[in-house]
Amino acid sequence: MAGYDPYSCNSLQKPYYRLIEIAIRWCGLVAHEVEILEAVGGEAIPDVKLFPQWPCLRVNCLAIEDAINNDDLAYGRDGKAVTSGEHVAPYRRTVRHHDLKEWMLKYYPGQKPEFLFDEIERGVHHSINIDDYLALQSKIEATEARVEKAKEAWLAQKEEINKLKEENKKLSSLPTKENVHPRSRRSYLTVIEALAQESLKGDIPREPYSAANDLLLIMNKHGLNLKNETVANIISDINSIREDRETEKA
């Protein structure tokens, strides 16, 4: 046999309420209910001089009375329904829980007192209906999908950047004019000079760009591509070591 379920009811709820009882719950003053009821006595609405620390207590009572007087809120006598417009002494006027909830939703949608609305109802904005909720949910899912794609693209770009950084690191470690020993650099250029002479079947033209054009034609046949300027600079360096050799011989 199932045990007692403490959540099967709301201890603040009643089948119907007197005006002052509604205001007490609406204001969140249930802890002071006995004190308030004793002070109010048989009156339906607290005197203006009572409870100055809780001004909303009287204001809310007046709002409920106004709704009843203008047929905006169904009422009864001591919990029993009456015909609209039937006279009922103010202190005997009562409002059923269901009618009160409907009235509150219509006229005070931004307020959801605990005695009328459960936790889920209080957490849902009053202006959102099921269609709005589904549309909003669809937008959220679409946004999440876009974010996921953007994240994947970002990760791919990050991986590519890391690869480029690694490649740049390798390139930075290659020998250059600045970090190669002059003797080693001269040796490299001598080897290149010999290979170029062999490819050209003779001496390398002194004019750098002319020599570069001839060498590029041979390199292109083997699928090797370099800029004309790059090859011309290498020819200029070869010419420099040629001049050094000629000076040394002299």
For the stretch 173-183, pLDDT in tens is: 655 655 566 77
In a domain, 20, yes or no: yes
pTM above 0.75, yes or no: no
State the amino acid at position 141 in one-letter form: E
Q: Copy the structure tokens of residue 204.
A: 């390398």
Local structure of 190: helix, strand or coil: helix
Local structure of 18: helix, strand or coil: strand
Contact 95, 72 (CB under 8 A): no
Structural domain including 79 reads 16-123
Compute the C-alpha angle 100/102/40, nearest 5°. 15
In a domain, 136, yes or no: no
Instruction: Check the CA dihedral 34-35-40-46 and report its sign.
Output: negative
pLDDT tens digits, 14-40 = 899 999 999 999 999 999 999 999 999
**Same domain (yes/no): 111, 196:** no
Which residues on adjacent β-strands are paired with residue 93? 77
Spell out, as residue ranges, where the chain has pLDDT lower than 70. 1-2, 7, 123-130, 133, 171-181, 250
The number of folded domains in the chain is 2
In a domain, 144, yes or no: no
